[in-house]
Chains A and B, each alone.
Chain A
Amino acid sequence: GAVVSQHPSWVICKSGTSVKIECRSLDFQATTMFWYRQFPKQSLMLMATSNEGSKATYEQGVEKDKFLINHASLTLSTLTVTSAHPEDSSFYICSAPQATNEKLFFGSGTQLSVL
């Protein structure tokens, strides 16, 4: 299957700082990428759809100014958690569809812990 690389795999930061998470499609181009959030023992919750060259589309209840998404190229999307607080601590996962077979592939996830 296709490879989606996500970094970092875990990050610990102080409250009030910003954290950037990168998602790269390594062997295919992705005009669209998805960002999910997952709490322990729960399923994935879609946060936003990242579109290359245009603004991201956010799901209801997700703060645009808190979770900044940039999709500057066909292989890279970034999620920046701005002024992080402890309630932002969660597991964040990106995914990208491979257009040739319409399958969604996921990154390995980023565990964010805000102290």
Chain B
Amino acid sequence: QKEVEQDPGPLSVPEGAIVSLNCTYSNSAFQYFMWYRQYSRKGPELLMYTYSSGNKEDGRFTAQVDKSSKYISLFIRDSQPSDSATYLCAMRRSNYQLIWGAGTKLIIKP
């Protein structure tokens, strides 16, 4: 079993829809949770960074962490074609080494 599970998709939704992306994990020692967006042949871009359980909002993006269920989510409101990319969840313990999900390819159809 992988430490972090993420559905690779692709996930295709119409423009304007609310997108829900999820990851589950098995290691309860993870403390920091991140979502990265990666366009084709580009480096990952940090979207959201959260510590411990709870919600964090930044513009159209909301990150949610439920440590009791070992489950994290990223919601995208009013999705745009420019949001089409691969979204990677990542998490870590106290050091900087990240454990990555497989990435979900998101396609927003105009």
Residues of A within 8 A of B (CB): 1, 4, 6, 32, 34, 41-44, 46, 49, 91, 93, 95, 97, 101-109, 111
Q: Which of chain B's residues have a CB closer than 8 A to the CB of A108? A: 42-43
The distance in angstroms between the C-alpha atoms of A91 and B39, with both chains bound, is 13
Contact of B42 among A4, A32, A95, A109 (CB under 8 A): A109
Chain A, interface SS category: strand
Q: Which 8 A-B pairs have the closest CB atoms?
A: A106-B43, A109-B43, A97-B96, A43-B100, A108-B43, A106-B44, A43-B102, A93-B43
The distance in angstroms between the C-alpha atoms of A102 and B97, with both chains bound, is 11
Q: Report A95 CB to chain B, min CB distance, Å.
A: 8
Residues of B within 8 A of A (CB): 8, 32, 34, 36, 41-46, 49, 88, 96-98, 100-103, 105
The distance in angstroms between the C-alpha atoms of A42 and B103, with both chains bound, is 8
The distance in angstroms between the C-alpha atoms of A46 and B96, with both chains bound, is 12
Measured CB to CB, the nearest residue on chain A to B6 is A43
CB atoms of A111 and B98 under 8 A apart? no
CB atoms of B43 and A6 under 8 A apart? yes
Q: Which of chain A's residues have a CB closer than 8 A to the CB of B98? A: 46, 104
